[in-house]
Structure 1
Amino acid sequence: MIKLFIFPAAFGLRNVSPFCLKVEMALKHLNLDFDLVELSDPRQSPKGKLPFIEIDGQRIADSEIIFEYLDQKTSGGLFGDLSEEEKARGTAFTRLAEDHLYWLMVASRWIDDGWWPNVKEGFFGSMPFPLKQLVCFVARRQVTQTYNLHGLGKHTFAEQKDFARRDLAAINAAVSVNPYLLGDKLTAFDFTVASLLAGILDNKPDAWITPIAREFQPLMEYTERVQQQVGVFCRV
Structure 2
Amino acid sequence: MYDRRRFGLAVVDNDQLTLTMLTLLVRRLLPEVDMKWACRRGRDAIERCLSVDSRPDVLLVDMSLEGLSGVEVCRQVRAATADIALIGITSFSLEHYATDALAAGAQCVMDKARVRDVCAAAVALANGRMPRTRYVSDMTAAQSHALLTTRTEAETGNVADDGSPTRSNAAAAAALLTEREREVMCLCAQGRSSREIGELLGVGESSVKTYVMRAAKKLGARNRTQAVAEWLMLQD
Query: TM-score band, normalised by the shorter chain?
Result: under 0.3
> Relative to total residues, which structure has the larger helix share, 1 or 2?
1
Q: TM-score, normalised by structure 2?
A: 0.26
Q: TM-score, normalised by structure 1?
A: 0.26
Structure whose CA Rg is larger: 2
